[in-house]
Structure 1
Amino acid sequence: MHFAPWVALLAVTKYAAANPFVISDNSQVEKRDLAYSEPYYPSPWMNPTAQGWEDAYAKAKEFVSQLTLAEKVNLTTGVGWQGEQCVGQVGSIPRLGFRSLCMQDSPLGIRFADYVSAFTSGQTVAASFDRDLIYRRGKAMGEENKIKGVDVLLGPVAGPIGRAPAGGRNWEGFSPDPYLTGVAMAETVKGIQDAGVVACAKHFIGNEQEHFRQVGESQGRGYNISETLSSNIDDKTMHELYLWPFVDAVRAGVGSIMCSYTQINNSYGCQNSKTLNGLLKNELGFQGFVMSDWQAQHSGAASAVAGLDMSMPGDTVFNSGFSFWGTNLTLAVLNGTVPQYRVDDMAMRIMAAYFKVGRTLDQIPINFDSWTRDTFGPIHYAANEGHQQINWHVDAQEDHGDLIREIAAKSTVLLKNDGALPLKKPKFLAVIGEDSGPSPLGPNGCADRGCNMGTLAMGWGSGTSDFPYLVTPIEALQAQALQDRTRIEAVLNNSASSTIETLVKQEGATALVFVNANSGEGFISVDGNEGDRRNLTLWGNGDELIKNVSSLCNNTIVVIHSVGPTLVSDWYDSPNVTAILWAGLPGQESGRSIVDVLYGKVNPAARTPFTWAAKREDYGADVLYEPNNGHGAPQQDFTEGIFIDYRALDRAEIDPIFEFGFGLSYTTFEYSDIKVEKINAKEYKPTTGKGTEAPTFGNYSTELEDYLFPKSSFPYIWQYIYPYVNTTSSLKDASMDPEFGKTAEEFLPPGVLESAAQNLEPAGPGLTDQPGGNPQLFDELYTVTAKITNTGDVEGDEIPQLYVSLGGKDDPPVVLRGFDRIRVEPGCTAVFSTTLTRRDVSNWDVESQNWVITSSPKTVFIGPSSRKLPLSAPLP
């Protein structure tokens, strides 16, 4: 057996006496030199009286109190890559009938499983601006995971939030607006966990690009770096932008959070004591567990005391058999380097999250295998051992195809319409573009969707699932055409210029041009796009395709399937381009959902969840494509602060092509009669006092002999990660680390071993409050109403949006703070009503380390988009 050093890579954080997350206002070099994370110790332990967690805590305490040290370590350490059936599994506790925990991708379906659904992407459903629809999507995904035996669904995503429009995994998240992403995170978490599965909000935090996220991945592409990228973020930006949606996830009761590959201010995300101990567990009062991203753990004792609770997938490098935890975590507790209460707290947090979603020890069997579709095979795939039935091919789809079709249609954004839509039994349809048809390899022909052939319905990487089927646009259009007796012809080759020209220039043609732009996770490169997009143009020469078709056909309708905004300046305003739709990444019902919108079966109401700028430079932030720090960690300085997406364009007074929140309908609406009513809330008071002392549950043996591998109980599995030692001669001999034997005081920061009650954060919750921050931040201060009248002759949904001007010179002109999706009959009027909380009108104050309402005058706006705000009123 081989065990990795556990005191390696001890740089938990850089020390500083000033405020956290400081970035100098001077030169880039100085900013990089001063980008650090303040140390924050000890790691906060669970609170038995946290609102909403009391019952889960009691059940977890009853369970964890029975565990031995080895069993606790087993619960916190993954068994190794491909060690068992799921992408991540911790060890089992057979003595108490606990089969382990199964962690599985992805945030839009179940990766590596058969007979499961392929849902719309998070970014796509965000365009619906529909809380109920987002919740139903989360619940359906949770239901499928539960049927398959998954315990923890690795999603939803708020990191990346979408700082740079070319970011490869933006589509897995929701929107670069923190309010919209926060709402979507909360509704998705509630849906997943109401279905009885633990949600895992990821990637915490500042994980905004794929380039340089891992050293090995980067070196394999010729980048000579020794550390992963550091996202250098100031304190105000951290709170007002990147932390905001995670607050909503914590308030929704999320059971787990995944820390990221990237560093934050030059401290690795999975051993960053400020972000994990300080922000997440103390300031937000998070009661669940923190798991590492796969191979994002860089140390043993250091990551344990910095707030990491679960190591995934357990081995230091895939299939190495080495682990920072496992045996080494057992030894760390035995020699006093990691306090016993820290391992108790890890186990408590994991089991509390498990019990919080209604789970019991009567677990649903894991009935699929991530590594093969064979019915029979090795349960330990990497070791090729334990041959038995591993796939039961259980159908988990239920009727979710209908829901996916509804979501995709209600999330399709109508960006332009010069009367071309809805279609009404057109005489002749000319369907153009590879994106309208099937891939010659089939919908799952490329592993993890790592290619771009045929219609684009999801991006690539670990955030994918296999399609049970994929209805392409041409299939659905042909079915509708047969019903309408419409002539329909298609050219599914973007390069077949002469064939396309001959078809679309015929008299009476309505040309439907399907185009796309793709991206994904960094371990896959597609056409030179190493996860992140190289540019914002359409793929497959799509822009030229649109220009060529529209030069010949005066009724050209464009449908875009994409992972985010593309540059449309060259063709969007052509009079021959009569309609433009963004359908995002619609999932398995792609064709039927777009036909529903094109033909008016669904009246579009969705809004673009990001800005469509005229130039890439207008966005104010971009991907770092080349290392900029020698062989060290590339430094990505977030110098734009909170000004990303529409906030950047608004501040610079740049006109977008299509602004954030924009979307058309087949009817029209009028806004009127805004009213603001002030609610008398109590004065905001910072949280004071202390928490409780660190609890420990039961005694454990300090005799090394009691942790020897029990050969008589079960066989040793190659590469499998265990909590046991392979020698009992001495603690030093049991560890492979040459530094073993040093005390914690010799290499860990001060405060690590403290077990006394700690001070509560002023902006954090009290002992009996709901996690997510100071509860008074969520007091309602204002009720705002307006009237919405359908002035057209078609029933439709409207999405009124409320924006606030916070009034300060360093504030964005407006920020989104409310929305709703309202159905209104023709000629009728509905009332839009929403409330503003103290948090909604506050700024983060770096000096007091709390939220404050500034003296700047504040104004509320209501309208159909961020740039069309006909109603306004001052906030008294």
Structure 2
Amino acid sequence: MIDDLLDRMTLEEQVSLLSGADFWTTVPVERLGIPKIKVTDGPNGARGAGSLVAGVHSACFPVAIALGATWNPALVERMGVAIAGQAKSKGASVLLAPTVNIHRSGLNGRNFECYSEDPMLTAELAVAYIQGVQGQGIAATIKHFVGNESEIERQTMSSDIDERALREIYLLPFEKAVKRAGVMAVMSSYNRLNGTYTSEHPWLLTEVLRDEWGFDGIVMSDWFGSHSTATSVNAGLDLEMPGPARDRGEKLVAAVRNGEVKPETVRAAAGRILKLLEYVGAFESAPDLAEHALDLPEDRALIRQLGAEGAVLLKNDGILPLNKAGLGHVAVLGPNAAEARVMGGGSAQIAAHYRISPLEGIREALLNANSIRHAVGCRNNRLINLFSGDIRVEYFKARSLAGLPVVAEPAHVGEFFWFDLPSTELDPSDFSARMTTSYVPAESGEHVFGMTNAGLAKLYVDGRLVVNGFDGWTRGDNYFGTANVEQRQGIHLEAGRRYQVVVEYCSSATMEEGINITAVRFGVEKPLGEQDMAEAVETARNADVALLFVGRDGQWDTEGLDLPDMRLPGRQEELIEKVAAVNANTVVILQTGGPVEMPWLGKVRAVLQMWYPGQELGHAVADVLFGDAEPGGRLPQTFPRHLSDNSAMIGDEAVYPGKDGHVRYAEGVFVGYRHHDNSGVEPLFPFGFGLGYTDFSWGKAQASAAQMALDGITVTVDVTNIGDRRGSELVQLYVRPLGSVVERPDKELRAFAKLKLAKGETARASLVVYPRDLSYFDVEAKAFRAAVGRYELLVAANAADIRSIVTIELAREWIGEVSDRLV
């Protein structure tokens, strides 16, 4: 059928398929019955075509690092199935997920959106996710291909990575997604790879992806991430997104006419688009693009289970789990206690069905709300608290706010991110809007108004210009680098008085190459001070236990900017120190998208890392704290003691964050625990680490053979739950070469098994390693090579806790071609 359609299509029609129609849909060819399909952002939900901050509600699942912490591919596959159902509820046929870039620096703004520092763990979880999604007839899109490990100057930065590191670390998740999961779509990254944009990189998109790995799906650009016509098409980029066409359309037709692009190149790319439509069933039944909310009890239960499964208990001197019956006064403290920090920021945001805060979850778990005392203590937000209330929004043609509004509509929060405007009469590049609302402060005193805008804006209070986001506007660090740095201004307000707040916005007069966004965000807050810190300390003083909810939120862990450091923002460390000084039973619950330094670690009894676990946050954290569920997570990323211990933080800006448009991956294959092993730098918490609520004994590991065979070696180890309750144990297998002609990591993860055992139960972990697991990439030979010799198979509880060692022999050198099938 596809060949027949291609034969009947004109060049112009074939070309039309190679750009989006708009932000979220492909171009139909009605003459031939070729429908349009919709794509939707993931990976922790399916947003649909709505704004990043509004739209039809969706189920909000845990972020990827929380999934990485589960070490549970079967559970992640179940999530993939559920996410596919959410995509269908938004009329989408393609999910823009998963994200499989590697945790390199610890500061990447999208660290939360990626699974792990280890490519093998990342690959196993990505394969499971893709299989879950695609098993339901929705196409998955693995991203960002490749080298997008930082958000700093990501649209132009060149990630300079040697081929060995690429093959062993950064490409492996993509390779397994293609060869094992049959992923249907790949998204190129914004950055350049070794000087060439990945969206026009023939070695990457054609030689490696298609010729070596056999990929037969589509390659799409990240949004506004394509830069050329003939160069990108010839390199292997099929679909330019979003639409309408910028570098395709008439430009591509002309490029074919003048011989810059061969007609068969366009035909092949159009054929891959048609194959995608066929895969998702678009020809059998034209997709219904309508969107609706799908709030299923089974999704709620799965999100809650995933939240506990990914929770990592980093420290516990026996205080956890808490005994509900024995608790009197419980202090629930910190900036993340009453706020439900359920997801990271950027394109992963969705409008969640609901958000359960830790405070709500604890109150529900304890039933006796009178026993709970709450205080904030300090803030941790990067931006001023978002305005919430009834807002009237009027839209005008042109940027002058003149005449009658074209349309008016209500809103309820002070953030507007316009993918689509509410009327076709409005031009996204030439419109204006007026937001009118009122604010009644609860307390008298200085309040701070803040605003950030992509476009130009002014904020007035009772007619007085308070925040000027118009004059002298320059790009800053918000909205993917398209908005200014948040502008702030303090003003004295009287409690109980109603103030009129008006924001006037107009779109930018010039549209630049790259991402173009129209957005504004405004907020107001009364700054917290010493009295608030003191209140939290006094609340903790006589409590049976002080539960401190600290960390970050989606303003810090977000697409578009990297973190400034690895410390808790604001006065949170001070809050921990002061609370721990008055309450010996202090438990810290962290919510971050990656590692943090913990100078206060020795002063608290327990530390629980919850990440951003989705809409069931409060229930999941209460389940773990009170022992209704165990903390099932293990670290998917090393937590260093200090930022300077990270392999990318060597004091050379060319290595991080980059210099003169290049960031050099000088550490090569020595990322994460590989770096800590080979440098001898002891981490705060090693890769794979996590505590539970029960104890296990391990037997001695046994290998099925002493010599490696083509079909691999199976290593088994018996594990017994010797504690007094059900729990899970993670068995990890690392390979260590005993002697090598090239520098190699001390050990590398090659297999793992997660066992769930009842009290007194014994189970056997079976871990299989294959010849490629012994290998390194030989750049000169363009192949994976395992040298003759001995190798140790290390059976471990984490990267620093080796429980058993089995030595095997490779009798003959093994060479693996890059095109070989993967098991």
Question: Which range, TM-score by smaller chain?
Answer: 0.7 to 0.9
Shift of 1:456: 2.0
Say if 1:472 and 1:591, in contact at 8 Å, map to a contact too.
yes
Provide closer, same or farther for how the CA distance between residues 239 and 324 of structure 1 changes in structure 2, counting only shifts above 3 A. same
The secondary structure found in structure 1 opposite 2:318 is: coil
2:26 matched residue in structure 1:
90
Provide closer, same or farther for how the CA distance between residues 623 and 336 of structure 1 changes in structure 2, counting only shifts above 3 A. farther
Aligned length, in residue pairs: 646
Alignment of 1:319-338 (within 5 A): 323-338=246-261
Q: Note if 1:409 corresponds to 2:304.
A: no
Give the whole-Å Cα distance in 2 for the aligned partners of 1:797 and 1:302: 51
The secondary structure found in structure 2 opposite 1:127 is: helix
Give the whole-Å Cα distance in 1 for the aligned partners of 2:106 and 2:217: 31
1:865 matched residue in structure 2:
798
Say if 2:295 and 2:353, in contact at 8 Å, map to a contact too.
no
Say if 1:678 and 1:781, in contact at 8 Å, map to a contact too.
no
Give the whole-Å Cα distance in 2 for the aligned partners of 1:333 and 1:516: 54
The code of the aligned residue for 1:183 comes to: E
Give the whole-Å Cα distance in 1 for the aligned partners of 2:707 and 2:650: 45
> Structure 2 length as normaliser, TM-score?
0.75
1:748 matched residue in structure 2:
none
Say if 1:194 and 1:357, in contact at 8 Å, map to a contact too.
no
Q: Note if 1:101 corresponds to 2:34.
A: no
Q: Note if 1:180 corresponds to 2:114.
A: no
Q: Note if 1:614 corresponds to 2:641.
A: yes
Alignment of 1:157-168 (within 5 A): 157-159=99-101, 161-168=102-109
1:452 matched residue in structure 2:
none
Give the whole-Å Cα distance in 2 for the aligned partners of 1:351 and 1:328: 21
Provide closer, same or farther for how the CA distance between residues 411 and 461 of structure 1 changes in structure 2, counting only shifts above 3 A. same
User: Structure 2, unaligned stretches of length 5 or more?
Assistant: 379-528, 810-823
Provide closer, same or farther for how the CA distance between residues 253 and 624 of structure 1 changes in structure 2, counting only shifts above 3 A. farther
Say if 1:118 and 1:587, in contact at 8 Å, map to a contact too.
yes
User: Structure 1, unaligned stretches of length 5 or more?
Assistant: 1-58, 215-227, 316-321, 369-392, 439-454, 525-529, 683-778
Q: Note if 1:589 corresponds to 2:616.
A: yes
Shift of 1:814: 1.2
Shift of 1:473: 0.4
1:428 matched residue in structure 2:
329
Shift of 1:643: 0.9
Give the whole-Å Cα distance in 1 for the aligned partners of 2:775 and 2:278: 35
Give the whole-Å Cα distance in 2 for the aligned partners of 1:822 and 1:462: 34
Provide closer, same or farther for how the CA distance between residues 656 and 102 of structure 1 changes in structure 2, counting only shifts above 3 A. same
Say if 2:656 and 2:664, in contact at 8 Å, map to a contact too.
no
Counterpart among 682, 685, 692 of residue 655 in structure 1? 682
Q: In the TM superposition, what whole-angstrom CA distance separates every residue of 1:115-141 from its partner, at most 9, and x where no partner exists?
A: 311111011011011111110111111
1:491 matched residue in structure 2:
375
Counterpart among 219, 238, 251 of residue 290 in structure 1? 219
Provide closer, same or farther for how the CA distance between residues 848 and 105 of structure 1 changes in structure 2, counting only shifts above 3 A. same
Q: Note if 1:787 corresponds to 2:718.
A: yes
Alignment of 1:247-286 (within 5 A): 247-251=175-179, 252-286=181-215
Say if 1:143 and 1:196, in contact at 8 Å, map to a contact too.
no
Provide closer, same or farther for how the CA distance between residues 627 and 589 of structure 1 changes in structure 2, counting only shifts above 3 A. same
Counterpart among 801, 823, 829 of residue 732 in structure 2? 801
Q: In the TM superposition, what whole-angstrom CA distance separates every residue of 1:640-677 from its partner, at most 9, and x where no partner exists?
A: 00111111111111111111100111101111121111
Provide closer, same or farther for how the CA distance between residues 793 and 190 of structure 1 changes in structure 2, counting only shifts above 3 A. same
Work out the percentage of aligned pairs sharing the same amino acid: 33
The secondary structure found in structure 2 opposite 1:799 is: strand
The code of the aligned residue for 2:376 comes to: L
Alignment of 1:66-145 (within 5 A): 66-79=8-21, 83=22, 87-111=23-47, 112=50, 113-145=55-87
The code of the aligned residue for 2:551 comes to: N
Give the whole-Å Cα distance in 1 for the aligned partners of 2:705 and 2:30: 58
Say if 2:105 and 2:649, in contact at 8 Å, map to a contact too.
yes
Shift of 1:680: 8.6
1:775 matched residue in structure 2:
none
Q: Note if 1:193 corresponds to 2:222.
A: no
1:388 matched residue in structure 2:
none
Counterpart among 345, 350, 367 of residue 460 in structure 1? 345
Shift of 1:351: 2.4
Say if 1:207 and 1:260, in contact at 8 Å, map to a contact too.
yes
Counterpart among 526, 539, 553 of residue 583 in structure 2? 553
2:263 matched residue in structure 1:
340
The code of the aligned residue for 1:489 comes to: R
Provide closer, same or farther for how the CA distance between residues 521 and 606 of structure 1 changes in structure 2, counting only shifts above 3 A. closer
Q: Note if 1:480 corresponds to 2:365.
A: yes
The code of the aligned residue for 1:173 comes to: C
Which protein has greater RCO, CA pairs closer than 8 Å, 6+ apart? 1
Shift of 1:627: 8.4
Give the whole-Å Cα distance in 1 for the aligned partners of 2:193 and 2:7: 35
Give the whole-Å Cα distance in 2 for the aligned partners of 1:478 and 1:572: 27
Say if 1:671 and 1:863, in contact at 8 Å, map to a contact too.
no
2:545 matched residue in structure 1:
510
Provide closer, same or farther for how the CA distance between residues 521 and 344 of structure 1 changes in structure 2, counting only shifts above 3 A. farther
The code of the aligned residue for 2:592 comes to: S
Counterpart among 752, 762, 771 of residue 838 in structure 1? 771
Give the whole-Å Cα distance in 1 for the aligned partners of 2:149 and 2:661: 13
The code of the aligned residue for 2:97 comes to: G
2:600 matched residue in structure 1:
571
Q: In the TM superposition, what whole-angstrom CA distance separates every residue of 1:316-365 from its partner, at most 9, and x where no partner exists?
A: xxxxxx62111111222233321111111112222223333555440331
Give the whole-Å Cα distance in 2 for the aligned partners of 1:347 and 1:417: 57
Give the whole-Å Cα distance in 1 for the aligned partners of 2:656 and 2:752: 43
Give the whole-Å Cα distance in 2 for the aligned partners of 1:398 and 1:833: 34
2:153 matched residue in structure 1:
212
2:173 matched residue in structure 1:
245
Q: In the TM superposition, what whole-angstrom CA distance separates every residue of 1:1-46 from its partner, at most 9, and x where no partner exists?
A: xxxxxxxxxxxxxxxxxxxxxxxxxxxxxxxxxxxxxxxxxxxxxx
The code of the aligned residue for 1:250 comes to: V
**Structure showing the higher strand proportion among its residues:** 2
Counterpart among 155, 160, 179 of residue 232 in structure 1? 160
Alignment of 1:47-58 (within 5 A): none
Say if 2:557 and 2:563, in contact at 8 Å, map to a contact too.
no
The secondary structure found in structure 2 opposite 1:874 is: strand
Provide closer, same or farther for how the CA distance between residues 859 and 191 of structure 1 changes in structure 2, counting only shifts above 3 A. same
Give the whole-Å Cα distance in 2 for the aligned partners of 1:793 and 1:634: 57
The code of the aligned residue for 1:211 comes to: I
Q: Note if 1:874 corresponds to 2:803.
A: no
Q: Pairwise CA RMSD of aligned residues?
A: 2.4
The code of the aligned residue for 2:338 comes to: G
Provide closer, same or farther for how the CA distance between residues 669 and 873 of structure 1 changes in structure 2, counting only shifts above 3 A. same
The code of the aligned residue for 1:435 comes to: N
The code of the aligned residue for 2:536 comes to: I
The code of the aligned residue for 2:183 comes to: V
Counterpart among 242, 247, 251 of residue 313 in structure 1? 242
> Structure 1 length as normaliser, TM-score?
0.71
1:603 matched residue in structure 2:
630
The code of the aligned residue for 1:293 comes to: D
Give the whole-Å Cα distance in 2 for the aligned partners of 1:624 and 1:573: 28
1:757 matched residue in structure 2:
none
Q: In the TM superposition, what whole-angstrom CA distance separates every residue of 1:72-116 from its partner, at most 9, and x where no partner exists?
A: 11111122xxx3xxx332211112333312122121112334131
Provide closer, same or farther for how the CA distance between residues 594 and 281 of structure 1 changes in structure 2, counting only shifts above 3 A. same
